[in-house]
């Protein structure tokens, strides 16, 4: 391998080229380097090993290699000693008899045995292998940094369809954190190992690793398929793919909501509680009446009495939701001739003109006040709030669900519905949903709005999964779930 960025060797084919080089010529480069060190013996006895190789100093290895000034850019990387998938290309097959297979690998079906050798210091780019790997050091020193597969998002793997799909996109030297922001914390998930001659390191399949090698370092590695990969039948690949993508998408949604449930969210909830405690301390009927009048100036006395049954926390949440709807829309009541202007919202025909600044495309709790309120309420309180809205302000509830519910809001809402389902009996559930959906002129439109929003949130999570784990940008919104 001839690298254009030596001593760093990147796996991307655009960063290096394969060049024909007799093994004896490379050994000659190594001997020349050792001689240039004024006779100092190479690390871990490499000088003696090369002398025993039997190569005469007078041998003209330079004639075998046209890149006279690029000796330090050459790295013997993954040169096969044995390869069951391509036996005819065992370039160093003559060394096979000199390699003793470790006892615990004797019952394994080896995929390949490879030689790794460098005469100058070298750094390999971060990558993973599709096999279990036993790295054995013959001479020199290697420093290995390991990352588990779970750290993949911080390493930005190259696109799955590319020729270097098992390599990280993050440069070893001067990484661009403006392009790869998650890489700022990649070392938090790493483990470091130093290998000397005689040491061996097991690297499980799928584990990312980056290796720094001292000058004159020689290593041999063994690759073999894991039991899991050996047991996976190809006709099940599509099923496994869908199951894994679904599981990663579900986890991405959970992490997005957990990430947005920050101290700021808790602070919001505490502020609401403080307001309610203050309101509850007044405990006056006049204040409660004022609250109800703020919720809907056209409300009837019967509706006010229903609202008075709510806990202070529920009243505050209801007030916040109604205010958000009213702030986002212009409501004009079309009153039939002879109809009182105090007719309740539930009996009025409402014309709604929506502002352009609504957050119906939001994927982040922090950016969405409606979703934030829904998230801070427990399922019992939210059920009470929705029942009050459905009975007293059905058009406001309709506007909230049909026009103000963002993707993250829909996801939060359905999760709250799931909590309600687990907490209540079947009869109580049916009664609740009958009242809730009964507030809509078109119940199916409400269900579609919630479902479409929920699926939009999942789609953004899926996009993030492709970006983090597959290295593919599907496009679309980039807010909230990143």
CB 193 within 8 A of CB 146: yes
DSSP-based three-state secondary structure for 193: strand
DSSP-based three-state secondary structure for 210: strand
Contacts of 116 (CB under 8 A, 6+ apart): 76, 77, 78, 79, 213, 217, 218, 219, 220, 221
- Domain identity same for 227 and 272: no
Distance of CA 16 to the CA centre of its chain: 29
Its sign, for the CA torsion 41, 42, 44, 46, is negative
Read off the pTM.
0.75
Q: Among residues 199, 231, 263, which one ends one of the domains?
A: 231
- Domain identity same for 291 and 322: yes
- Phi first, then psi: what are they for 366, rounded to 5°? -65, -25
- Domain identity same for 225 and 264: no
Distance of CA 172 to the CA centre of its chain: 21
- Domain identity same for 120 and 269: no
Distance separating alpha carbons of residues 275 and 313, to the nearest angstrom: 9
- Domain identity same for 219 and 323: no
- Domain identity same for 200 and 317: no
What is the DSSP-derived secondary structure letter of residue 338? T
Contacts of 140 (CB under 8 A, 6+ apart): 43, 44, 46, 197, 213, 214, 215, 216, 217, 218, 219
In a domain, 244, yes or no: no
In a domain, 8, yes or no: yes
Per-position pLDDT tens, the chain of length 482: 566 666 677 666 666 556 667 777 777 777 777 777 655 444 544 455 445 544 444 344 455 555 555 556 677 888 889 988 776 666 788 888 899 999 999 999 999 999 999 888 889 999 999 999 999 999 999 999 999 999 999 999 999 998 889 999 999 888 999 999 999 999 999 999 999 999 999 999 999 999 999 999 999 999 999 988 888 889 999 999 999 999 999 999 999 998 766 555 555 555 555 544 554 454 444 444 444 334 443 444 344 446 777 888 889 999 999 999 998 875 444 443 444 444 444 444 444 455 544 556 778 888 899 999 999 999 999 999 999 999 999 999 999 999 999 999 999 999 999 999 999 999 999 999 999 999 999 999 999 999 999 999 999 999 999 999 999 887 755 444 54
């Amino acid at each position: 391998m001839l690298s254009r960025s030596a001593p760093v060797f990147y796996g991307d084919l655009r960063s290096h080229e394969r060049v024909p080089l007799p093994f004896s010529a490379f050994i000659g480069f190594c001997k020349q380097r050792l001689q240039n060190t004024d006779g100092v013996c190479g690390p871990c006895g490499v000088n003696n090993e090369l002398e025993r190789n039997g190569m005469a100093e007078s041998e003209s290895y330079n004639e075998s290699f046209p890149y006279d000034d690029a000796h330090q850019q050459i790295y013997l990387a993954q040169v096969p000693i044995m390869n069951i998938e391509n036996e005819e290309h065992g370039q160093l097959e003559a060394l096979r008899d000199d390699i003793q297979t470790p006892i615990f690998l004797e019952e394994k079906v080896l995929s390949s045995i490879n030689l790794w050798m460098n005469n100058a210091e070298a750094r390999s780019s971060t990558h993973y292998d599709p096999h279990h790997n036993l790295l054995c050091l013959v001479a020199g020193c290697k420093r290995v940094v390991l990352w588990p597969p779970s750290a993949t998002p911080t390493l930005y793997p190259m696109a799955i369809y590319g020729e270097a799909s098992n390599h990280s996109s993050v440069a070893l030297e001067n990484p661009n954190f403006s392009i790869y922001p998650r890489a700022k914390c990649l070392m938090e998930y790493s483990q470091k190992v130093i290998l000397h001659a005689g040491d061996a390191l097991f690297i499980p399949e799928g584990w990312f690793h980056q290796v720094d090698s001292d000058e004159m370092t020689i290593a041999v590695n063994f690759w073999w398929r894991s039991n899991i990969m050996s047991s996976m039948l190809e006709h099940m690949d599509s099923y496994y793919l869908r199951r894994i993508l679904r599981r990663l998408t579900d986890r991405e949604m959970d992490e997005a909501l957990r990430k947005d449930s920050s101290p700021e969210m808790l602070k919001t909830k505490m502020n609401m509680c403080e307001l309610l405690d203050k309101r509850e301390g007044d405990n006056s009927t006049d204040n409660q009446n004022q609250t109800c009048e703020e919720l809907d100036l056209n409300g009837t006395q019967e509706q006010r009495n229903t609202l008075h049954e709510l806990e202070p926390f529920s009243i505050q949440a209801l007030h916040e939701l109604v205010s958000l709807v009213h702030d986002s829309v212009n409501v004009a009541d079309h009153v039939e001739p002879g109809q009182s202007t105090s007719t309740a919202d539930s009996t009025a025909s409402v014309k709604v003109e929506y502002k352009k600044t609504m957050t119906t495309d939001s994927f982040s709790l922090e950016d969405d006040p409606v979703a934030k309120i829904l998230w801070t309420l427990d399922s019992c309180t939210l059920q009470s709030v929705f029942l009050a809205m459905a009975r007293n302000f059905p058009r406001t509830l309709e506007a909230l669900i049909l026009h103000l519910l963002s993707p993250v809001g829909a996801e939060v809402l359905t999760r709250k519905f799931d909590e309600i389902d687990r907490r209540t009996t079947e009869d109580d559930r049916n009664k609740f949903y009958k009242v809730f959906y009964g507030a809509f002129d078109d119940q199916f439109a409400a269900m579609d709005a919630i479902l479409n929003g929920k699926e939009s949130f999942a789609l953004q999570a899926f996009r993030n999964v492709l970006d983090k784990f597959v290295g593919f940008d599907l496009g679309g919104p980039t807010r909230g779930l990143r």
